[in-house]
Structure 1
Amino acid sequence: MNELLVLPRQRRRFSLRLRVMAAIVLVALAPSMLVFAWSLVDRQVPGRMWGTVRDAAEEAKRAIEEDAPASELSRVARARKVRLRILDENGAAVFDVDADSPGDAESRVESFVFGAKDGTTAREFDEQLGPMLVRPDVLEAKRAGWYVACDYLPLVLCQAIAISRTGASAGEGKTRIVHVQMSSWRAVQEVYVLRAHLLKLTMVILPLAIVLAFYMGRRVVRPIEQLRQQALAKAAAESPKGTLLPERHDEVGVLADAFNALLVALGKKRADNEAFVADLVHELKNPLAAVRAAADTLAESAIDPARAERLSRVLRDSTTKLDRLVTQFLELARAEAGMPNEERSEVELGALVTGLVESLRDDPRYTRVTFVSKEIEAGSPPARVRGVVHRLDALFRELLENAASFAGDGGHVGVVIGQTSGEVIVAVHDDGPGVAAGDLPRVFDRFFTTRGSRRGTGLGLSLVKAVAEAHGGQVTVRAAAGEGTTFEVRLPRLVR
């Protein structure tokens, strides 16, 4: 038994302790990982901007050389989202369109997360650089024909400068300076600096995080392991019982309380099963004793025909009772298991119950009992449920026969069939003496009966409850002394 209770540790591939430790270490590494990942994204920003200003300068230079209208230059500036200026040989601007847009969504996120300074524009920065013709980058462009570069200033600024001549013949045209600028508030430099600082900080924090992770892993898992050992120790006992000692007032203590509630429920279930077995043995002993007594008598000597007839009747009655008891017990066991592998179909409950009432009116046992049924009003949709036909038939037959037997001669049995949007409700009422208040909670218990052993086994109402619950419904009872008893069955309605 103990071998079955030992949990295989090798199957716990990722233990709770390991997951707690991994979570703490990941939290310690998260800032550095975030900044490193973001720096990989930011690394592509200058290169992308460099290519954009170069392409914009090429398009603008080509448009100038082809004597394209100013609208074409405006299109290039807006399409590329750059500031495009065309200057004459004296440095005067002959065209200036500013479509630069440094504040994209990513830059706003960086400004919030990394504290980058924003607000400066390429135009504001350019105004501080002095006359265009004396700038080193313009002089380099005049010498080489092109100049493209990016700088990490308070903002990322990329610019391209190209020298062009107007007119179809370059030798006859005028010199023009094409100046393209594009800026971004992306915190590229700040991110790289922050990454270096975080790397140093992580080297200090990580060992502390590992120690903390190991400590917290043990703190979290140890009480659970203690709880596990207590549970296994109690389960290995010859008669498992008692409660677990939580010794804590946190989540582990709440878990222990839940286990204790489970143990109490299992203990009650075990006590119920023990009582059930005792009741079953008691019910079986009486007919078995009668069968044995008859067998002993038959074995003693020759007996007269009258006595043989009596013994035959005893054997027949006893075997009939045994057969009925075993059959009802098996039916109850199947119903409590949910009636697996039994075919379910659409059942019109009103027609089924009405048919049962009509059959009992013709039953010789109940000729002096008046049955009154109130069916669903005409025009209302049929009361349909999904279930096992013969099980539902047995359920309502048991309730009707039970009501008829308590109503007695001259009594009345009333049946009301109704429905709501989600349920079909069948109430069976008898005007008999009613169930005593002390017996009411035990009505559905196995082998409980107030009719005596000669008139019932005490399994009928238990079977009614089990069948109703197996169909997703419930059955309740209410009674008052001198006012009879009412059983109400509620089953889920089948709606098309």
Structure 2
Amino acid sequence: MDSLCFHLKKSNFFCRRSRFLLSAFPTQKNLIMRMPPKLAQRLILFLTLVLISVGIISGYLQVRTQESQLLNTIINGADQLSNGITSATWHAMLANNREAAYQIMHTIALRQGIANIRIFNREGRIMFSTDSTVSGVVERSSKECAVCHSTPTPQVNINPPDRSRIFTNDFGKRELAMVTPIYNEPACSNAACHAHPAEVKVLGVLDVTYSLENIDQIVATIQRRAILTTTITVVVIGIFIFFFMRTTVHKPIAKLIAGTRALSAMQLDRPVDINADGEIGELAHSFNSMRVQLMKTVNELNELTQSLETKVQQRTEQLKVMNQKLFQSDRLASLGQLAASVAHEINNPIAGVLNLSMLIERIMKDDGIPQERVEEVRRYLLQISSETTRVGRIVGDLLAFSRRPSPQRMSADLNAIIHRTISIIDHKLKLAGVELELRLDDHLPEIKCDSSQIQQVIVNLVMNASEATHNRGSGKVSVRTAVDADGTMVHLEVKDNGDGIPKENLAKIFDPFFTTKGEGKGVGLGLAVVYGIVESHGGDIEVESKIGEGTTFLVDLPISGEAKEPSPQTSGIS
């Protein structure tokens, strides 16, 4: 037994060790909980979004830069053209030949890209416009004049970018307007025809409006080209990222997942074949090392389990042999006890019969029984009859116990059986001064049972309860029936207020020939017969007792009447 306990402890150690190693491996469920289900796809998506964002930002900045460069070029060109117009009309203006100057400006306005040319004097009056519909005076707060008059002192020298403005015309087209001051040069202020005071620095402004339609088309082309370039770049780099992540991340992780699934299915002979460097390769190597260690431990555990099973089987066979010997010894001891009990119970009345027979033999004379001793002989004969009846009752009880027939089950009302039984023994209870209380369930279902055997159970339990109350001034016995909650069993309870049964006797009260009654008051087979009948009906019987308070017998009978296998205790005498 010590060796068996040692192997059991060793087996438990290996089981705990195996469970620990298994918990160290990422099973399929744990892997799904710890790692996103599609890590490679998420990485590809994340990198693609970053690439798209960088491409969009880069393309936007590139387009804005090129657009800014184009506008600067246009502004410089517009400034040069404005200066050219001023120079072209200088001689005509100096000669005060306005028609010639206006004709030059009309000719220049016919060039592609110029929308309008206007000249304002110092007061803001439009002196000339290639658009004949435009005339009048422009306020200094207007966008045309605000370039120079944005400060209390009008500005004279202004950079070209500050003299330009971009706006949208009435037709929704963008246009660039360049304001060029016409300075009062000495040649003009000293001329005899239209001399201006020398302190006047600016005589007026030249406002040239350029159409940006071509520039907008160029910018749109640049935008489309940038979008196409960004898209192609994103697609190419995205494809590269996809294949790179699939090769370096997705496939190794898929192999790891397949390995964990094989491990969870205890397929320990399937290694994880990953040829990769870095963390994934190290993880695969560690996984394979733990798989080998676990396989070794499981093999050791299987060998130990097989050895343990063999030893347990050997011990079981030995225990079976020992159990058979103990059972045989117990049967022989039971038979010896039974024989001694029967011999003791029968010997006493037979000895009495023998003694009474010898007395009668001595009384009898050759001519018969003396007349004066007839009554004495008659009394002796009655005692012989009583003792032989006692022997017959003992033998009858023994036969009833050893040859109890199988119950003939039929549907019966347990309450009706109780009423019928009480009507038979009621006079004995009244003679004994015992008060009987019946608490029967009116809704008790019928059960399948042998009515005569159940009646025998009730008689024995009620009469035993009645006899247990003899030492009480007023004995009381109660009989109660009920059905259990699930409706499969009925309960019979017989309770008394007698002296109770000592604890040391509770375990033996159902043993054959065990009794606490006086000589000649019982042979101890009543409760053994009750136990056998209840068990043959598939029921159960329990006893609860307290010294000085009384005893309660609880009988449970199945409604269906299905019987259990009888135990060796009540299987009869062999």
How would you bin the TM-score normalised by the shorter chain?
Answer: 0.3 to 0.5
Using CA pairs below 8 Å that are at least 6 residues apart, which structure has the higher relative contact order?
Answer: 1
Normalized against structure 1, the TM-score is what? 0.46
Normalized against structure 2, the TM-score is what? 0.41
